Amino acid sequence: MEKIQGAVIKEQGVTFAIVIVKQHILQSQSESTKTAQAFMPYFPGLPIILMAQDDRGIPTYWGRKDIVSFLANTHISQIPWKEYAFNG
C-alpha cells in the first residue's frame, strides 16, 4: 500500500491535485515531470501540482502555471491536505 500526502481542490471551475514531494525533486525539471507523470494514474484526468517545503516551511509549487499562480497566493493552511492510500 502506497501512501501519499496531497489534496484535490476545485477552484474557479478547475479541479486539480496537489502532491507533497521532497524538495530535491522540484530542483530538477526532468525529475518534476517524471514524478508528476507517476502520480497521474492516482488522479486520472486532473492536472498534477507538486509541492515541496523548504527548511522554514515555505512551499514551492510546480505544475500548470495558472494553478501555481493561484496557489502562490493561498496560505498552505487553507489547503485541505489528507493522506491517500493506494494499492500499488
Provide the CATH number for the domain around residue 37: 3.40.1350
Instruction: Provide the β-strand partners of residue 24.
Output: none
pLDDT digits (tens, 9 = 90+) for 64-88: 999 999 999 999 999 999 999 987 6
For position 88, what pLDDT does the model report? 61
Cα 18 to its chain centre, rounded Å, is: 3
Burial class (CB in 10 A: 0-12, 13-18, 19+), 56: exposed
C-alpha cell at 53: 517545503
Please give the Cα distance from 56 to 40 (Å, whole number): 29
Range of the domain at 21: 2-86
pLDDT tens profile 47-64: 999 999 999 999 999 999
> How high is the pLDDT of residue 72?
93
pTM of the predicted model as reported, rounded to 2 decimal places: 0.94
Domain count, the chain: 1
